[in-house]
Chains A and B, each alone.
Chain A
């Protein structure tokens, strides 16, 4: 149970955090929280040696056995790498937050509860082997991320950003759920491993591409891919530890995890390869180009995160090509997967440290606006060093780990030339070119980020605070990450055997049985014949020139019309759905009963007519008909004339009298159809209701007031048509149902037993009080309720008249 327990440990600790925050006020709550990720790092660290040998661990906790839903914790290379990232960077972020968030001013209880909730959710996402529990944790990350982004909930922008990220990621999450359900239907199992085992069978299924696209939408929204990246820059309103943790190192990589996890299943389809690669490259390009435009430190980092995630995504896409090729080429493309995982790890290290530095700069100078900053190098030397390491690694400069993965990335895009399907041979070249341009922009914004903040002229008059170096505690976490950035460059293969090869083996189970099979070694120097070397040199050269002339060409961005922005599109969409729904409902919800009745009757006609037409239900059978008597015809004529009088009369009294005539004629019908009890009741009730109508009539305004304005009795064609339709429809149904009596009436039984069983002679009354006395009971109740209701209404009205409003309001 230890693996399952480890997932839920943060949530369990989160339960006691508010108490600690309230009761132990002299110690920063973060110190207690720090123990959780630290413990988990060691816990998961213990699995490294065994997973390196290709072992996997699985633990199952049955959740809803009858629906076959369980929490399955599955540890292989991929999930272990992510678990270590989550807990490791989680520990560093908690440490950083202890110094970043003030003990007195901030609601630390809330913060750490959300953070621990998120940590559990993220561990659950990466370890779940069951699709439904994966989705469960996935949504938990969305919710905790929503809470964390809106942590300073008194700020409008925080709430806006939280809502936006919630809308987009939950949209993606729901799409993903749809994909999961399709997968469950196709494979008859929710276990990812079992689905992967039957991947070749599933690939032929008609739902396969649908499931693929839906799952990809989920991954793209979470990992801020084009065009769903727009929530990430707005999520920068969160406290910096949150940005560093969620929006650079962990949550935004959940989509990458999902893509990596499903690669053995979906890579069999070429749609997957091209979608993942294409969208990844587009995102890489778009994010890097727009990062240069930003003036807020965290916004630069947000766009850079978007672009780096695109890079990793495209590498995963190229890596999945290995499922379509054989032999040596397979190795060529699996290297892309290797590069993806390697860069994923590198990105978590350098981007985490950069976010923390941005937070430090914000914390110590009071602003994150890069136009106000400058010349901080001498004031904040340690921060400057860390920022430089991070930025240079991001830019892909040697001596830092980013260089290694960037070279591998350029190599991977070049390797696309070997994949000749769909007449790719002519336009594969597009991919390396786009990748190269994006790398140039990455280089530019990396330098821009670090040099515009720390070099140049110091402008103390623009800063809200007097700038000075951060306290040591804030610098510990970014220093550790920056150290890792450098260490990974010098001993990459050590990290590769420990983390990356097991992960690659998990993504490419066809190519490699155990991690040791991967013979690939990371080299910083590829020799002069490597094309990637020249591409990198080109990046440095062009990037440096562009950086030097940055003031001259950035105005180009101003020329891009604001309408092109995807944020504008999102705002428009939200507005449209809001206003549109409003307009739609106000267009048909007029508040007038007349129109509602029109809808109801129209619907009645349409539904009945359609049913009759589709089922071919209309039958006319004359065999059961009784002969028509002259007298009946006569009464019918009277009935019709009276009814028409109600419709066309202009006087209310006439209408009421005609209604009485209708009632009496019906009573006459009862008589000639031999129903004396009904006739008696009908006569009395008709008289009473006519009297009631007259009573009500007395209080109504004179009708001719309306007649003058031609309001009341205007002829309305649609009302007429609908009334006609209802009449015809009901008549047709009556004819049809009379013509096809399928079973015999049970009234023979009543006739035989009315005296012998019930001891009565009047069959109607015996039915009412004996055979079916229950109905009568409740009819009596109805009458009671009606009379009580009338009494209630009249007395309420009277008390109002007396001006006794106070009593009424109570």
Chain B
């Protein structure tokens, strides 16, 4: 069981490495944003696996937080790439 989990950890780490490659290389900004989002998902999985391996429940909060942040981050990036700013403000008012 433990060996199996470790193998998955390694596989997911490798996939994160792949995402990092996309992050570095990625010809356009959306590529990088998606890579970052995927890294976030990968991290969530990793932390879940590690929690099982370490036999602890303290990291479950981190998983939740990471999911929220990953979502917010991706949305913010998307908005940024689309409109050029994250929080719109009408300065004329």
Contacts and interface: CB of A to CB of B under 8 A. Distances in A.
Nearest to A630: B10
Nearest to A631: B9
Interface of A: 630-631, 634-635, 637-638, 641-642, 645, 649, 653-654, 657-658, 660-661, 664, 667-668, 671-672, 674, 676, 679-680, 683-684, 687, 690-691, 694-695, 698
Contacts of A649: 24
Given A657-B33, A698-B84, A690 B73 contact: yes
A676 B59 contact: yes
A714 B85 CA distance: 30
A668 B45 CA distance: 11
Q: Can you list the 3 inter-chain pairs with the closest CB atoms, starting with the nearest?
A: A676-B58, A634-B13, A687-B69
Contacts of A635: 13
A660 B36 contact: yes
B86 A694 contact: yes
Given A631-B9, A657-B36, A664-B43, 15 more contacts: A631-B6, A641-B20, A642-B20, A642-B23, A654-B26, A657-B23, A668-B43, A671-B47, A676-B61, A680-B65, A683-B66, A694-B77, A694-B80, A695-B86, A698-B85
Contacts of B65: 680, 683-684
Contacts of B73: 660, 687, 690-691
B52 interface: no
Contacts of A672: 50
B31 to A, nearest CB: 10
A631 B50 CA distance: 10
Interface string B8-28: 011001101100100110100
9 contacts: A634-B14, A637-B17, A638-B17, A661-B20, A684-B65, A694-B77, A694-B80, A695-B86, A695-B87
Contact of B23 (A634, A637, A661, A671): A661
B62 A676 contact: yes
Contacts of A695: 85-87
B23 A668 contact: no
A674 B62 CA distance: 12
Nearest to A645: B24
Interface string B57-87: 0110110011001001100110010001111
Contacts of B86: 691, 694-695
Contacts of A664: 39-40, 43
Interface size class of B (residues with CB under 8 A): 35 or more
B50 A671 contact: yes
B69 A661 contact: no
B24 A641 contact: yes
A683 B47 CA distance: 13
A631 B10 contact: yes
A642 B73 CA distance: 18
Contacts of A631: 6, 9-10, 13
Contacts of B87: 695
A654 B28 CA distance: 9
A668 B24 contact: no
A507 to B, nearest CB: 88
A668 B47 CA distance: 8
Nearest to B70: A687
A649 B43 CA distance: 24
Contact of B76 (A674, A684, A691): A691
Residue from B14, B16, B61 with most neighbouring chain A CB atoms (10 Å):
B16
A660 B77 CA distance: 12
Given A634-B10, A694-B76, A671 B62 contact: yes
B45 to A, nearest CB: 12
B17 A634 contact: yes
Contacts of B77: 694
A645 B61 contact: no
Nearest to B60: A676
Nearest to B21: A641
A680 B32 contact: no
A671 B58 CA distance: 10
